[in-house]
């Protein structure tokens, strides 16, 4: 079924859905899908962690989560990450648990860099919240900007074929070959060519943020995928 969905929905939809699904895997691991009525406000204030989060009121104002949701997010985050931050190795370990049939190392690396907005080698609770806020509650424009930033590996404002190929190979490796036995080894490159034929409007060999957003907004499958995971927590 995944093979048929992959082939029918196309590269762009799959890439964006995988971004959101991977984030939901992290939420599930942290036990954040089901709400609890227990308050953790006192725990947040008293916790002895090396990195203390910003005030809930500030995060509530900056994100699209309520104070109650932020309390629950923090409890799960702190339980799994007592230091208050997540490093890349921990990030990779988390995703390896949910994609045991494949190798999620490279994709987790790319996703970690997208969450690590200040590029200091760690993801704080604030980084985590702001990323999830965009992926789960953001506007279409915000989600597409976030996705573009993931694909733009060197952060120069353009997506090259090499960057997109690296991302596609990482997705294929993570999903595992057993998921799509009919696909050939050159399938990632073929998907990249399809991506560029559709999005590289001026045929200059790179995709800009404007080209990316314009093409995505005209794709019904992508627009549907933007709404699949809204309000999951």
**Rounded Cα gap, residues 44 and 38, in angstroms:** 12
pLDDT in tens, 50-86: 455 557 788 899 999 998 888 888 888 887 778 888 8
pLDDT at 13 over 70: no
Using CA atoms, how far residue 93 sits from 20, 89, 140, 193, 214, in Å, is: 18, 6, 30, 32, 35
What range defines the domain where residue 190 resides?
140-232
Same domain, 133 and 144: no
What is the predicted pLDDT for the residue at 7? 41
**Rounded Cα gap, residues 67 and 58, in angstroms:** 10
Same domain, 129 and 149: no
**Rounded Cα gap, residues 231 and 133, in angstroms:** 10
pLDDT in tens, 138-150: 888 998 999 899 9
203 or 6, greater pLDDT: 203
The C-alpha angle 179, 107, 198, rounded to 5 degrees, equals 80
Burial of 130 (0-12, 13-18, 19+ CB in 10 A): buried
pLDDT at 212 over 90: yes
pLDDT in tens, 157-182: 999 999 999 998 888 888 776 555 55
Same domain, 108 and 124: yes
Domain membership flag for residue 132: yes
Partners of 160 in beta bridges? 206
Same domain, 95 and 153: no
Torsion angle defined by CA atoms of residues 216, 159, 156 and 115, in that order, rounded to the nearest 10 degrees: 60
What domain count does the chain have? 2
Mean pLDDT (the chain) is: 76
Same domain, 220 and 160: yes
Same domain, 195 and 225: yes
Same domain, 200 and 178: yes
What is the predicted pLDDT for the residue at 42? 42
Domain membership flag for residue 150: yes
Same domain, 146 and 225: yes
Same domain, 166 and 132: no
136 or 10, greater pLDDT: 136
């Amino acid at each position: 079924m995944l093979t048929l969905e992959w082939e029918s929905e196309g590269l762009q939809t799959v890439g964006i859905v995988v971004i959101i699904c991977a984030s939901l895997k992290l939420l599930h691991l942290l036990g954040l899908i089901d709400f609890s009525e227990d308050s953790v406000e006192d725990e947040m204030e008293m916790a002895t962690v090396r990195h203390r989060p910003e005030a809930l009121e500030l995060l509530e104002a900056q994100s699209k989560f309520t104070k109650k949701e932020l309390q629950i997010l923090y409890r799960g985050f702190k339980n799994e990450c007592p230091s208050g931050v997540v490093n890349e190795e921990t990030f990779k370990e988390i995703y390896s648990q949910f994609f045991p049939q494949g190798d999620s190392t490279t994709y987790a690396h790319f996703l970690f860099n997208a969450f690590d907005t200040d590029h200091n080698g760690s993801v704080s609770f604030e980084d985590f919240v702001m990323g999830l806020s965009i992926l789960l509650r953001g506007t279409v424009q915000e989600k597409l900007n976030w996705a573009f930033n993931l694909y733009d590996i060197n952060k120069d404002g353009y997506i090259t074929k090499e960057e997109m190929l690296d991302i596609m190979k990482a997705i294929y490796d993570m999903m595992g070959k057993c998921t799509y036995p009919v696909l050939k080894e050159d399938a990632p490159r073929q998907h990249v060519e399809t991506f560029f034929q559709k999005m590289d409007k001026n045929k200059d060999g790179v995709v800009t943020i404007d080209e990316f957003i314009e093409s995505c907004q005209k794709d019904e499958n992508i627009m549907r995928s933007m709404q699949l995971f809204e309000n999951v927590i």
